[in-house]
C-alpha cells in the first residue's frame, strides 16, 4: 500500500484507499458516500489504465458476456440440428465463402478518434508521407521500422502474427482482405490511428478450423427463434428456486454455500449468484439489494437457467471460438479506453497524476465526461471488485 510519506507525516494517514492509491482526508473532505464510491471506481479505472490491466478490471463482466456468447453458440448448434443441417451442408456453404488467414506488415501513426482534430490530421499526414516513400521504392519493412509507433515495429519491420477474421478491427481486416500478396494499401483509418498495410501472404483456412463461424452464419438463416424459446422454457420449468435462502443485500453472500436453486442434474449456490451480480448493471444490483422481489426472483431464475444451459453446451462439447472471445475483450478494452480519454488517465502515469485526475473527474463538466461517469456508475459492481477499497470511517 502507499505509505504515509505521500502525505507528509504518520499523523495524517490516508482516508480513502483504492489498491495502492491513497487519498488524504483533506483531499476528500466534504464528499458524501456516493461520491466517495464514485471516486473509488474512477480510481480503479485509472489504476487499470496506468497498469495496463484492462481485462482484470472487467473480469466479472467479461465472465457474464463469455457465458452469454457460449449459450448463443448452443442455440446455433441446436438450430442446425433441428433444421437437419449437417457438416456436409456447412462444408458446401463454406466453399462459396472461404475464410482466410492473412500475413500482414503494417505501420501506424497512433491517433485515436478522441484526439484533437489537429493531432488526427498530423498523424494522417505522416502516414501518407510514409506511403509515398513506399510507393517511391523504399522497402516497406524499413519505412515501417522508422515511422511506425507500434512497439517492436523496428525489430519486426511491421510484421504481425498471422491473423484471421476477428483478430483485428474490421477496418484493418477489410483493407487487408482486399489486397493481393505483395500489394500495399492506401492510408487506412481505425480506432487506433492511421495505418498503411502490405499483404505478405494469404492462406485458406481448412474447413474444420472455420466450422464455428460457418455454423453461426448458417444457423442465422434457419433459426426462427420460436423453437429455441420453447426449449429454454421447458428447462426453466424444471428449476426449483429457493428465494428465501438468498440474502437480499450482502455481496458476497454470508453463506456462499447455501443452495438457492436445484434441478435434476445440479444445484446453484448463493455464492454463484453473488458472483454473477458483480457482472450486472448497478441498477439491477441495487434493486436486488433493496429487496425488490421481482428483480431478486428474475436474477435467481436467470442465474440458475444460464448455469443449466452452460452445462448443456459443455455436454455437447461446444466451445466459444477464439475470435468471438477476442472481440468481447476488445469491446471492453474500447470502453475502458473511452473512459480513459474522458478522465485523462494514461498508461504509466504517476500516482499523483492519477489522484488529481480522478478527483477532477468527479466535478468536471462536458457531455463526454457525464456519459463516462454514468457508464462507470452502471459498471460499479464490476469495478468494485477490482481493487481493495477502504472508505473513511463514518
pLDDT digits (tens, 9 = 90+) for 345-358: 999 999 999 999 99
Cβ(376)–Cβ(45) below 8 Å: yes
Q: How far apart are CA 83 and CA 288, in angstroms?
A: 40
- Identify the domain boundary among 204, 232, 264: 204
Lowest-confidence segment of 11-25, 147-161, 295-309 by average pLDDT: 11-25
Q: What is the mean pLDDT of residues 57-63?
A: 96
DSSP 251: S
Residue 3 has a pLDDT of 37
Q: Are residues 118 and 198 in the same domain?
A: yes
Cβ(24)–Cβ(15) below 8 Å: yes
Q: Are residues 192 and 105 in the same domain?
A: yes
Domains of the chain: total = 4
Residue 52's pLDDT band (boundaries 50, 70, 90)? Answer: very high
Reported as a single tens digit per residue, the pLDDT across 229-275 is 999 999 999 999 999 888 766 555 557 888 999 998 899 999 999 99
What are the two backbone dihedrals, phi and then psi, of residue 205, each rounded to the nearest 5 degrees? -80, 135
Lowest-confidence segment of 13-17, 205-209, 318-322, 323-327 by average pLDDT: 13-17
SS3 label, residue 283? helix
Residue 9 has a pLDDT of 38
Q: The domain spanning residue 182 has which CATH number? A: 3.10.50.40
CB atoms within 10 A of CB 235: 15
- Identify the domain boundary among 286, 315, 344: 315
Q: Are residues 328 and 311 in the same domain?
A: no
Q: Are residues 229 and 244 in the same domain?
A: yes
DSSP 243: G
List Cβ neighbours of 237 (8 Å cut-off, separation of 6 or more).
none
Cβ(127)–Cβ(196) below 8 Å: yes
Q: Are residues 119 and 162 in the same domain?
A: yes
Reported as a single tens digit per residue, the pLDDT across 116-139 is 899 999 999 999 999 999 999 999
Q: What is the mean pLDDT of residues 300-312?
A: 96
Q: How far apart are CA 65 and CA 328, in angstroms?
A: 7
Sign of the four-CA dihedral 232, 237, 240, 243: positive
- Mean per-residue pLDDT over the chain, rounded: 91
Reported as a single tens digit per residue, the pLDDT across 21-31 is 999 999 999 99
Q: In the chain, what percentage of residues exceed pLDDT 90?
A: 81
Cβ(325)–Cβ(66) below 8 Å: yes
Residue 10's pLDDT band (boundaries 50, 70, 90)? Answer: very low
SS3 label, residue 212? helix
Closest C-alpha to 291, from 237, 236, 249: 249
Q: Are residues 302 and 332 in the same domain?
A: no
Residue 6 has a pLDDT of 39
Query: What pTM value is reported for the model?
Result: 0.81
Q: Are residues 218 and 242 in the same domain?
A: no
Q: Are residues 71 and 134 in the same domain?
A: no
Taken as a whole, the chain contains a residue count of 394
Biggest distance spanned by C-alpha atoms of the chain: 75
Q: Are residues 291 and 198 in the same domain?
A: no
- Identify the domain boundary among 176, 204, 232: 204
CB atoms within 10 A of CB 361: 24
Q: Are residues 257 and 280 in the same domain?
A: yes
Which structural domain range is residue 215 located in? 85-97+210-222
Amino acid at each position: 500500500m502507499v505509505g504515509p510519506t505521500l502525505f507528509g507525516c504518520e499523523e495524517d494517514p490516508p482516508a480513502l484507499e483504492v489498491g495502492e492509491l491513497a487519498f488524504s482526508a483533506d483531499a476528500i473532505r466534504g464528499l458524501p458516500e456516493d461520491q466517495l464510491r464514485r471516486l473509488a471506481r474512477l480510481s480503479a479505472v485509472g489504476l487499470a489504465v496506468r497498469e495496463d490491466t484492462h481485462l482484470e478490471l472487467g473480469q466479472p463482466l467479461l465472465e457474464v458476456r463469455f457465458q452469454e456468447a457460449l449459450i448463443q453458440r448452443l442455440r446455433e448448434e441446436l438450430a442446425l440440428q433441428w433444421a437437419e443441417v449437417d457438416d456436409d451442408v456447412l462444408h458446401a456453404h463454406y466453399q462459396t465463402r472461404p475464410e482466410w488467414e492473412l500475413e500482414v506488415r503494417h505501420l501506424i501513426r497512433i491517433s485515436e478518434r478522441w484526439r484533437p482534430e489537429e493531432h488526427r490530421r498530423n498523424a494522417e499526414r505522416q502516414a501518407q508521407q510514409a506511403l509515398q516513400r513506399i510507393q517511391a521504392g523504399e522497402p516497406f519493412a524499413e519505412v515501417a521500422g522508422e515511422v511506425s509507433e507500434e512497439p517492436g515495429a523496428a525489430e519486426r519491420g511491421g510484421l504481425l502474427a498471422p491473423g484471421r477474421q476477428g483478430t483485428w478491427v474490421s477496418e484493418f481486416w477489410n483493407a487487408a482482405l482486399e489486397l493481393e500478396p505483395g500489394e500495399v494499401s492506401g492510408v487506412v483509418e481505425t480506432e487506433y490511428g492511421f495505418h498503411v498495410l502490405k499483404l505478405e501472404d494469404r492462406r485458406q483456412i481448412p474447413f474444420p478450423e472455420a466450422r464455428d463461424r460457418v455454423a453461426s452464419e448458417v444457423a442465422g438463416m434457419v433459426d426462427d427463434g420460436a423453437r429455441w424459446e420453447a426449449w429454454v422454457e421447458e428447462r426453466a420449468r424444471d428449476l426449483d428456486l429457493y428465494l428465501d435462502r438468498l440474502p437480499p443485500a450482502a455481496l458476497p453472500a454470508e453463506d456462499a454455500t447455501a443452495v438457492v436453486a436445484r434441478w435434476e442434474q445440479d444445484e446453484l449456490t448463493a455464492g454463484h449468484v453473488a458472483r454473477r451480480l458483480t457482472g450486472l448493471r448497478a441498477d439491477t444490483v441495487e434493486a436486488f439489494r433493496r429487496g425488490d422481489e421481482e428483480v431478486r426472483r428474475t436474477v435467481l431464475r436467470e442465474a440458475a437457467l444460464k448455469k443449466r444451459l452452460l452445462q448443456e453446451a459443455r455436454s455437447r462439447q461446444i466451445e466459444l471460438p477464439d475470435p468471438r472471445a477476442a472481440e468481447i475483450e476488445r469491446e471492453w478494452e474500447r470502453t475502458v479506453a473511452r473512459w480513459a480519454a474522458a478522465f485523462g488517465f494514461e498508461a504509466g502515469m504517476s500516482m499523483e497524476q492519477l489522484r488529481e485526475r480522478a478527483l477532477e473527474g468527479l466535478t468536471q463538466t462536458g457531455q463526454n465526461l457525464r456519459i463516462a461517469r454514468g457508464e462507470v456508475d452502471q459498471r460499479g459492481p464490476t469495478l468494485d471488485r477490482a481493487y481493495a477499497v477502504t472508505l473513511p470511517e463514518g
